[in-house]
Amino acid sequence: MRYLKYYLFGILTLSAALFSVYWMAETKGACWNGMVYSCGRDQFMDFFNHIAYAEDFSSLYDTSVHACFPPLIYLLYGLFGRILPENAIVMFHSGETSAYARLLYVVYCVILTVLLFYSIHKLLKKSVEISLWLTLTVLLSNTFIFAVLERGNSALIVCIFLLRALELKDHDNAWCRENALIYIAAASAIKIYPAVFGLLYLFEKRWKEAARLVLYGILLFFLPFAAFGGWNALMQFMENQLAVQSGNYPGGGECPYRNQKYRNVRQSFCRQTPEHYSFYDNSYGGYHTMDAASTVMLPLCGCLLEKSFFPGQHYDNRPFMERRLC
């Protein structure tokens, strides 16, 4: 009985995977049309489009209303843009995007996958086999394939940061505990909602660490705006965020040249696949809800696996210093 929950989890996961394979074969892949953005014409564009937006740091947030990520991640996208040849990315047309850009995305995903496995293994402190199976479970999940990998979303970076933070949060070494704060702050500076992990420090009454976490979060979120135009960039970022989250995309706030280029590409895309583009717009918020949920829930589930689910391990909810004194 002690292992019943693991067997149930394994059976449900395997059953879902087998059913997915059967359904893809039965429909000859047509079932993907309800999950893949724009019938596959817009693949990986949370990666490629944002590299294109970061082409000019001084006008990043004026480029498009969809340039709505916090600035920290755009430092990485800006680096990628300088690695790639000129005009290597064609927005909204993944099939026409340069092979160099697609190769960069493959290498990027391979590196993050290895780091994900490493983070899960270090957090759980279990056998390589258990960590491998859990990693494969994540990689083959609907949310990972269609809301992270197919989108090219940076949620995987955030997830890795949070897993590392959970491993180091209660470490005996003070520097490791400080690294945990930096990991959570960096994750929050990329995706904002991982800031909820700060509640763990409040629940454990670790007030000084919570205060430092807030400080790190403020620095990592706001300081990078200096590279993109300072206060004006912050205000435009807020406008873009409000527009994207509300589904209202006004034409204002985009500089004339890039705005016209962006509009031409977008209008051409709409004419080619109007029905799929309509689906893309209507479902945009839903997929990002899945993305947000998975980014937060996977590390929390990892914490539960480490503290509660494995036999012989129980979560100790006493304040951190009291646990150390015992």
Tens digits of residue pLDDT in 1-55: 666 777 787 788 778 878 888 888 888 877 777 667 665 667 788 899 899 899 8
Q: What is the mean pLDDT of residues 282-298?
A: 46
Contact of 94 with 41, CB cutoff 8 Å: yes
pLDDT classification of 302: cutoffs 50, 70, 90? low
Q: Is the dihedral of CA 235, 241, 244, 245 positive or negative?
A: negative
Predicted pLDDT of residue 37:
65
pLDDT classification of 207: cutoffs 50, 70, 90? very high
Name which of 114-118, 182-186, 286-290 the model is least confident about: 286-290
Asked if the model's pLDDT at residue 272 lies above 90, the reply is no
Predicted pLDDT of residue 297:
53
Predicted pLDDT of residue 254:
40
Predicted pLDDT of residue 286:
44
Q: How many CB atoms lie within 10 A of CB 219?
A: 13
Q: What is the mean pLDDT of residues 138-147?
A: 81
Q: In whole numbers, what is the pLDDT of the chain averaged over residues? A: 77
Asked if the model's pLDDT at residue 258 lies above 70, the reply is no
Predicted pLDDT of residue 317:
47
| Torsion, Cα of 69, 73, 76, 77 (10° steps) | -10
Predicted pLDDT of residue 91:
75
pLDDT classification of 63: cutoffs 50, 70, 90? confident
Q: Which of 143-147, 224-228, 318-322 has the highest mean pLDDT?
A: 224-228
Predicted pLDDT of residue 1:
62
Predicted pLDDT of residue 301:
57
Between 257 and 131, the higher pLDDT residue: 131
Q: How many CB atoms lie within 10 A of CB 146?
A: 18
Q: What is the mean pLDDT of residues 273-287?
A: 38
Give the C-alpha separation, 313 to 90, whole Å: 51
Asked if the model's pLDDT at residue 140 lies above 60, the reply is yes
Predicted pLDDT of residue 260:
45
- What are the C-alpha distances in Å from 233 to residues 58, 59, 66, 188, 297? 8, 8, 14, 18, 31
Q: What is the mean pLDDT of residues 243-255?
A: 60
pTM here? 0.75
Asked if the model's pLDDT at residue 72 lies above 90, the reply is yes
Predicted pLDDT of residue 209:
95
Predicted pLDDT of residue 274:
37
Give the C-alpha separation, 72 to 223, whole Å: 9
